[in-house]
Structure formats: C-alpha cells, structure tokens
C-alpha cells in the first residue's frame, strides 16, 4: 500500500506565537511575505513493493526545493532539517522533492522525484498543500540467467546493458541479485548484449528493447536453446542460440490510462547473427496458456451493464508459476483500490499484504488463493463490477499475465461504463 511519511509540529501552527524559522522572523511579517507550515508538507514515496522494507530509501534524506513561478529555487532544505515554519515571498510555488542523484548508470541507485503546487498569502500560514508524491524517475534493469545457461557459462560471460545516451553496466552471473539504474532519456532504447563462452564456444548476441519508459523495471532473463545438428538456421558455434525475455513492470505507483499498452519487444538488433528457428505449432503459447472469458469474448471491450458475471478462465498445460494482475483505470484509482484492501499491481502467487482481499474478492468460491501449481483457475471479477458502476463513467483495463514453464502470456480485459 501507500507509504505515507508525515511530520507533526510540536504545537499547532497557528499557536506558534513568537516562533521563527532559522532565517527569517515569524513576527512582524510584511505584505510581501507569508509562511508555510512544515506539517503541511507531506512526502509520499511510491516504490514497487508499496511497503516499507529494509534498504528502502529514507525520505527524510530527500532534498526539498521551493520553486517560484519564475522557476527560481527560493529555499532548499534536507527534509529532515526543515524548520517548523518556512518564510516565503508571496506568490505561487512548487514544492519539489528529490531523492538520489540520477546517475547516468549505477548499481542500486534509484532516483525519486515529486512535485506539488501551493500558494503563499501575505501574513498567512499555508497549511493546505497536496502531498508531494515521489515516484521512481529513472530506469531499473535486472538480469537473470536461466539455470540451463548459467551452469554452462564461462567466467568471461557477461551481459552489457546500454540505456539512454551513454549509460552502460556489465552484469555477470554474480550480479543476478543486483539492480542497475539508468538516467531516463526520452525516446531512447535499451540493448542487452550477451558476450562470453558457453561450453567453450564464444557467443555474442544482442537483444533490443524499443523506447524505454521512465519509472519502469525491465527484468531480462537469458536462457539457452540448443539446436539439433542440421536444424534450419543453425549458424552459431555448437548450435547454441540465446533467447531473452523481458518482464516490464511500471513501478511508479501510477500508470497513465491514455498510454497504449507496450509489447515486450526483445528482439535481435539489425545486423546480429541470431538464427530464427522455425515456428513450432506445438509451442504456441496461446494454446499452452489459455485465457478466455466465461460467456464473453475477452478480446472485445465489454459494457459493464451488459455483464451478469465477469469470470475469466485460465487453463494451462503446465502448472502456473506466476500470475499478476495490473489494474489500469481513470476512475478506479490507487486510492479507491486502497479502500477495498488492494493495489493496482497484484501478484496472485505471492500476494503479500493483499492476500485477504484477493482471496475474498476473486476466489470466494474456493476460499483460498488457488493459483500456484494449478493448471485450471477461475478468476472472478464479478464483485468489482458494482464498484466500477458506482464510480461513474470510465474505461478500465485488467491486464493478466500468466506464466508457466512454457512461457508467459498476457491478456487484457477492457471494460467501459457509460
């Protein structure tokens, strides 16, 4: 859920007779100055877990800037050191909170940023400021190696990730638990190049991801596929071919519902020598992981009032190992979801704090979360329909991603209420 950080004054702001900030007296204010109560400035940090955890950024170390309408920084503090009352010239302001240094490329270096606007009135204490919501504002990348590949990699093997204009990091087998962070450059791409020996053969292969998004975690998994001698397209030494799949997760806490869905686009860069194996109809993920509506076409947008029940059926050839649901809506906001004990990103295999709500809302018939290890799951969204109706006109997307040993499949249920 949300992580709220608030600082309380020792006494109510209006009762600070004779109080002062460290630079300007509180008493005797002129018609050119007003005051901001520190209690009014609340920082809210949104990370991918939405919960406090060991190693989470300490928002009290954030830098807070007060920027006037001309773009000038009038005051600047470490959040922990802000005075109880800040004196500011009359006018319109933006409170800007920054955590981290936004490196071009560095390990374990998240960069958070958030803003909120407010107004300073002469001789008045401003106590009503919208929370400053700090969201991840750079790009996170993790690299993992499938066991089939890891056990055969040489000591020289690595993946070189390039993002933005000049950000570069090398990931080795020992770096699977580390996260690399890259400065966000609008419109830039991301490439991941595997280089090194596998079973004594030197392999170099590049995969690319078009147009990275700010505040997004790209989790890239490399695995090996060995072609049989004489197979079509075999041109690598030893018949070794590398595959890379990417799981893209928005970790800012909010997703813009106007943005078109982004497809996972890990593919060879033009000019690489990656062979393209023939399509095996028996490996069609749509047949191995079947996701369909019970009595309705999940591929078509549905009018909520026309649906008596909203049940999605999942049938897989191999046991389910992963199942996530992302809720993208212009009215079913994170605040609304919080009211029913949920977030906008749900992991049904590892539900964490959302377990009770997930069980009660989506798996009421079973009475428990019936997902891990199953090959047939009934996901019931019917309890949500009344909530969506109450919220008025809107468009809603439930993005389901189901993973098995055969791979991952993502299907979107689109609903409208008008």
How much is the mean pLDDT over the chain? 77
Looking at residues 309-321, what average pLDDT do you find?
A: 89
Looking at residues 211-227, what average pLDDT do you find?
A: 82
User: Looking at per-residue confidence, does 247 or 136 come out higher?
Assistant: 136
3-135 with 284-417: one CATH topology? yes
Reported as a pLDDT band with limits 50, 70 and 90, residue 371 is confident
- H-only helix segments in 301-399: 334-339, 355-362, 382-390
Number of neighbours of residue 368 by Cβ within 10 angstroms: 8
pLDDT at 373: 83
pLDDT at 56: 57
Among the listed ranges 112-116, 354-358, 376-380, which one has the minimum average pLDDT value? Answer: 354-358
pLDDT at 369: 64
Note whether 379 and 404 are within 8 A (CB).
no
- How far does Cα 395 stand from its chain's mean position? 21
Note whether 173 and 194 are within 8 A (CB).
no
DSSP element (H, E) containing 285: helix 285-288
Reported as a pLDDT band with limits 50, 70 and 90, residue 54 is very low
The percentage of the chain sitting over the pLDDT mark of 90, rounded to a whole number, equals 28
Reported as a pLDDT band with limits 50, 70 and 90, residue 128 is confident
Which tokens is 205 given?
């292969």
pLDDT at 98: 94
pLDDT tens-digit series, residues 10-44: 222 333 333 444 444 444 444 589 999 988 898 88
Looking at residues 130-139, what average pLDDT do you find?
A: 90
pLDDT tens-digit series, residues 379-403: 888 877 877 777 777 788 888 899 8
Checking if the pLDDT of 52 tops 70, the result is no
Which tokens is 346 given?
């749900």
From the candidate CATH numbers 3.30.420, 2.60.40, 2.60.120, 1.10.3470, the one assigned to the domain spanning 284-417: 2.60.40
Using alpha carbons only, give the angle 174, 180, 183 rounded to the nearest 5 degrees. Answer: 160
Checking if the pLDDT of 150 tops 50, the result is yes
Looking at residues 237-266, what average pLDDT do you find?
A: 53
pLDDT tens-digit series, residues 253-296: 443 333 333 333 344 443 334 333 444 445 678 889 999 998 88
pLDDT at 383: 77
Checking if the pLDDT of 116 tops 80, the result is yes
Q: Which fold has domain 3-135?
A: Immunoglobulin-like (2.60.40)
Domain ranges of the chain: 3-135, 139-278, 284-417
Checking if the pLDDT of 103 tops 80, the result is yes
Which tokens is 24 given?
């300007």
Nearest 10 degrees: CA dihedral of 105, 179, 240, 319? -150
Looking at residues 348-352, what average pLDDT do you find?
A: 81
Nearest 10 degrees: CA dihedral of 317, 322, 327, 328? -80
Taking the model in full, what pTM does it have?
Answer: 0.52
DSSP element (H, E) containing 149: helix 147-150
């Amino acid at each position: 859920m949300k992580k709220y950080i608030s600082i309380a004054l020792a006494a109510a702001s209006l009762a600070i007779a004779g109080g002062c900030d460290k630079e300007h007296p509180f008493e005797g204010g002129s018609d050119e100055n007003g005051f901001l109560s520190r209690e009014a400035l609340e920082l809210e940090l949104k990370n991918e877990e939405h919960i406090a955890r060991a190693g989470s950024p300490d928002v009290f170390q954030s830098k807070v800037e007060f920027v006037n309408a001309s773009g000038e920084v009038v005051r600047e503090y470490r959040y922990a050191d802000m005075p109880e009352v800040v004196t500011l010239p009359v006018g319109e302001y933006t409170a800007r909170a920054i955590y981290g240094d936004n490196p071009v490329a560095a390990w374990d270096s998240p960069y958070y940023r958030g803003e909120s606007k407010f107004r300073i009135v002469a001789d008045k204490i401003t106590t009503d400021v919208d929370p400053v919501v700090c969201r991840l504002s750079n790009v996170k990348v993790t690299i993992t190696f499938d066991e089939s590949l890891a056990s055969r990699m040489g000591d020289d093997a690595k993946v070189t990730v390039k993002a933005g204009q000049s950000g570069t990091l090398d990931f080795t087998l020992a770096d699977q638990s580390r996260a690399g962070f890259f400065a966000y450059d609008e419109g830039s791409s991301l490439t991941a190049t595997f280089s090194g020996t596998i079973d004594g053969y030197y392999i170099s292969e590049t995969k690319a991801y078009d147009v990275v998004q700010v505040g997004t975690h790209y989790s890239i998994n490399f695995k090996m596929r060995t072609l049989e001698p004489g197979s079509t397209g075999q041109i690598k030494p030893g018949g070794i071919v590398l595959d890379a799949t990417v799981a893209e997760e928005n970790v800012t806490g909010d997703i813009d519902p106007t943005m078109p869905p982004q497809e996972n686009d890990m593919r060879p860069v033009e000019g690489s020598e990656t062979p393209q194996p023939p399509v095996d109809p028996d490996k069609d993920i749509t047949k191995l992981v079947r996701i369909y509506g019970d009595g309705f076409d999940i591929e078509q947008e549905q009018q909520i009032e026309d649906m008596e029940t909203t049940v999605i059926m999942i049938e897989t050839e191999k046991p389910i190992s992963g199942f996530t649901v992302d809720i993208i809506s212009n009215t079913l906001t994170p605040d609304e979801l919080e009211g029913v004990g949920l977030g906008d990103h749900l992991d049904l295999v590892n539900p964490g704090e959302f377990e009770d709500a997930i069980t009660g809302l989506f798996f009421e018939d079973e009475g428990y979360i019936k997902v891990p290890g199953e090959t047939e799951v009934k996901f019931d969204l019917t309890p949500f329909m009344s909530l969506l109706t109450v919220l008025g006109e809107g468009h809603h997307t439930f993005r389901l991603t189901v993973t098995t040993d055969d791979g991952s499949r993502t299907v979107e249920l689109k609903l409208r209420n008008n």
